[in-house]
Chain A
Amino acid sequence: MAIWIKLLERQRIDKAGVPKDYHPGDWVKIGTQQAARWIAEGVASAPSTQSGELYDDSGVMIRGTDGSVGALLDGSGVPHREESAMRFPWGKTCYWEPSLSLRTNLLPVGFQLLERWDVAAAIYDYDILACHVGTDEDRARTEAVTRDLRILCYDSRLVFVKRGVVGRRLLETWEREREGGGHELLAFLRAIYQTPCLLCALPATWVNPSAQR
């Protein structure tokens, strides 16, 4: 599928195999995946009337709130629901916990990644490992699952999941691991480890724009 976007920066785009220069302000019709990337990177913008195409069968499930956060996304064009139950309202769902500031321009990119991957989640921090968080008991429980604690954590506040057998298994395992209490990062780490899947690890900049390495 292709959509029209407005370029905010100069770009060279192949048209029928011939590279052509386009300038800020030019409108070009390109594939939604490339469009989503450029919009996320600030290279282009899309008219709001096309947001439905970027969010086709996709939306944000807001977790862990009193029901008042959804208003923040009203008018953004982003389909969203605010429920405590972990389920799949859409084919591609972003589970967002609002203690993390949501960068809505990244949402189309995350949803596009689910065309190829089962799950997409960002590295929490390149230097904070499982051995650095939680209690002794929590870490011991985690190590019994993940084999080693010298491993990265994923930020469970922003997780993209594709509907399907694997996605359902992940949500069930995640809920089960959370019920036992303990640190949220470790609960998600145990859940994702026990659900071998096509996991797209996103750079930490997705959840912490100042993360460099």
Chain B
Amino acid sequence: MVAYGEPARQEAAASIESLHRWHDWPVTVIGEPVDGASHLPYPDTDKGGRWAKVNLDKLSPYAETLYLDADTRVRQPIGAGFEILGDGWDMVCTTSQNQGGDWLWHIDAEDRDATLQEAGHMLQLGGGVFWFKRNARTTRLFEAWRAEWTRWRNQDQGALIRALHREPVRVWLLPRLWNGGAIVEHRFGKARRGTV
């Protein structure tokens, strides 16, 4: 989890509490300290904490990691994510609700156009809930994700699509119920600074 600013810290604390209703997994928060979690200080370089997110492969203390946006709430068991990694998949991601005409609507036009030109109209993934294991493929993917994110330094979904196009990994997809649905609620935007 990544948290910078008071709204994000409050959201993260609630998210951790919701996770611990179902699973006793250890939690680390990158950025600022939050009750119920280990703390990993890391410079706050962008408004959304996305530089920390695209560095998760280096920052996470775990060999297998579940990343949750701070403004999520776990409403049902989600243990399958780690089991899927254990069965040989590198990464478990969720689809975004923004497909078709809504594809990447929320990112800069240049970022979106570059994604379309370079990777094609691929599935939009949600960046707020995902699992990954550390291995050579995911290391290359995160390197590509960082490189792609630094082109515009804003949202991370277009950069993730381009990175996956450059450095594919074994991705198992979950439906949006797991990120913005009945399994994991996503209170989009509630962790932004200035929302308290």
Contacts and interface: CB of A to CB of B under 8 A. Distances in A.
B175 to A, nearest CB: 5
Nearest to B164: A200
Given A203-B121, A203-B122, A211-B100, A152 B174 contact: yes
A199 B99 contact: no
Interface stretch (B21-29, B87-95, B186-194): B87-95
Interface string A194-213: 10111111111100000111
Contacts of B173: 123, 151-152, 201
Contacts of B140: none
Given A147-B83, A148-B80, A151-B175, A202 B123 contact: yes
**Chain B interface residue bracket vs A:** 20 to 34
A150 B183 contact: yes
Interface string B76-88: 0000100110011
Interface in A97-135: 109, 116-117, 123, 126-127, 129
A41 B121 contact: yes
Q: Which of A37, A200, A203, A213 has the most CB of B within 10 A?
A: A213
A211 B173 CA distance: 17
B42 interface: no
B98 to A, nearest CB: 7
Contacts of B121: 37, 41, 203
A116 B168 contact: yes
A212 B95 contact: no
Given A150-B178, A196-B170, A198-B170, A123 B123 contact: yes
**Chain A interface residue bracket vs B:** 20 to 34
B66 interface: no
B100 A193 contact: no
B170 A197 contact: yes
Main secondary structure of the interface of A (DSSP, over half): loop
Given A201-B123, A213-B97, A151 B176 contact: no
B84 A211 contact: no
Contacts of B99: 126, 203-205, 211-213
Interface in B115-168: 117, 120-123, 165, 168
A51 B138 CA distance: 36
B62 interface: no
B177 A196 contact: no
Contact of A201 (B88, B171, B177): B171
A126 B171 CA distance: 17
A126 B95 contact: yes
Given A37-B120, A213-B102, A152 B165 contact: no
Contacts of B174: 150-152
A198 B122 CA distance: 15
Nearest to A14: B117
A152 B87 contact: no
Interface string A139-168: 000000001101110000000000000000
26 contacts: A37-B120, A41-B121, A109-B120, A123-B173, A126-B176, A129-B177, A147-B80, A147-B83, A147-B87, A151-B173, A152-B173, A152-B175, A196-B88, A196-B90, A197-B170, A199-B170, A199-B171, A199-B172, A203-B121, A203-B123, A211-B100, A212-B102, A213-B97, A213-B98, A213-B99, A213-B102
Interface of A: 34, 37, 41, 109, 116-117, 123, 126-127, 129, 147-148, 150-152, 193-194, 196-205, 211-213
Interface of B: 80, 83-84, 87-90, 95, 97-102, 117, 120-123, 165, 168-178, 183
